[in-house]
Amino acid sequence: MAVLNIVKEGDPTLRKVCRPVTEITPRILTLLDDMKDTLHRANGVGLAAPQVGVLRRIVLVECEEGDLIELINPEIIERSDEIQEEVEGCLSIPNRWGITRRPARVTVRAMDRTGKTFTVSGEDLKARAFCHEIDHLDGILFTDRTIRYLDPDEIG
């Protein structure tokens, strides 16, 4: 397993739409493992494959230590009408934070590393992380959804 380079804002990879995973191969499994190592090294909450230069529909979310969720070909199938306005940042856009509007609760359908389809729901931070990371798969950055940027002294 390896720690991968996280691409930064300005890299064209971050603005591209990712291809679906059609088969779970050893290469996909290695990518999942390497993304996990990369996420942990960066102390992040989520990581999408395009953030490590791979245009595949793969996302990892870990809002609580030890509760890693691997999502292959994720899609949001339900969103609450209730909206949250909270602080977001991104490993690909260091030292920039902003307030975004996201659903307070979402349900995601995806495949796991064995190719089995499952659903997972999240609220608050987990819902925001699912939305943020799935946006990456379509070339959307949190800055596209920011309603107000924060000054460094507002980050706590």
Backbone angles phi, psi at 6, to 5 degrees: -90, 120
Q: Nearest Cα to 71, choosing from 93, 85, 56?
A: 56
Q: Which residues contact 6 (CB under 8 A, 6 or more apart)?
A: 38, 42, 47, 51, 52, 91, 92
How far apart CA 132 and CA 122 sit, in angstroms, is 13
86 has catalytic annotation = no
Which of 62, 123, 133, 154 is catalytic? The answer is: 133
Write out the catalytic residue numbers: 133
